[in-house]
Amino acid sequence: MQALATEELFSFCSGETRRWREWFKENPSTLDLEIDIAQAKTVRDLVLHIVAVELRYAERLLEEPVTEYDKLATGSVMELFSTSDQADRKFRHFLSGATDAEWAKVLTFPTRSGGTLTASKRKIFVHALLHGMRHWAQLATFLRQQGHKQPWFHDFIFSDAMV
């Protein structure tokens, strides 16, 4: 049995983020709805949290300086998702050249809320993707409960990440 390839998981997550960008372009007022998920006070705050984590972990994988939250644009939908675009490019760059040794490399780094952590690059990559997936699911549920359903299925089986 073949394991799920990192590129396929990344493709699914990246595609889901693109769908969210398009949805928020059509529904920008929903960004200002009050919410209580992951210490976010608004939907905008939660989206910022999702995309900021993507960027910061992509930067860690490339062993680049980590961007501070206050340096990230949050005004418009396109500004918010430009952070995700940066992360996407960095993840793709990492994936294009990562060797087995690179995946196994262990990093120690500070987090904003969890103290100092030590993890392999493989674990960091998987965390970054699952983190976004989890929060997008929470957001989808919240928005649906507020009467703002998304017109696509969020499940992996409906994605074009693999056959």
Q: What are the tens digits of pLDDT across the range 57-87?
A: 999 999 999 999 889 998 899 999 999 999 9
Task: Give the domain ranges of the chain.
Answer: 6-143
State the pLDDT confidence band at 34, using cuts at 50, 70 and 90. Answer: very high
Q: Residue 41 corresponds to which tokens in the numbers above?
A: 């006070």
The CATH classification number of 6-143 equals: 1.20.120.450
Distance between CA atoms of residues 26 and 88, nearest Å: 22
The 3 state secondary structure assigned to the chain is: CCCCCHHHHHHHHHHHHHHHHHHHHHCHHHHHCEEEECCEEEHHHHHHHHHHHHHHHHHHHCCCCCCCHHHCCCCCHHHHHHHHHHHHHHHHHHHHHCCHHHHHCEEEEECCCCCEEEEEHHHHHHHHHHHHHHHHHHHHHHHHHCCCCCCCCCCHHHCCCCC
What does the pLDDT read at residue 1? 41
Q: What are the tens digits of pLDDT across the range 87-140?
A: 999 999 999 999 999 999 999 999 988 899 999 999 999 999 999 999 999 999
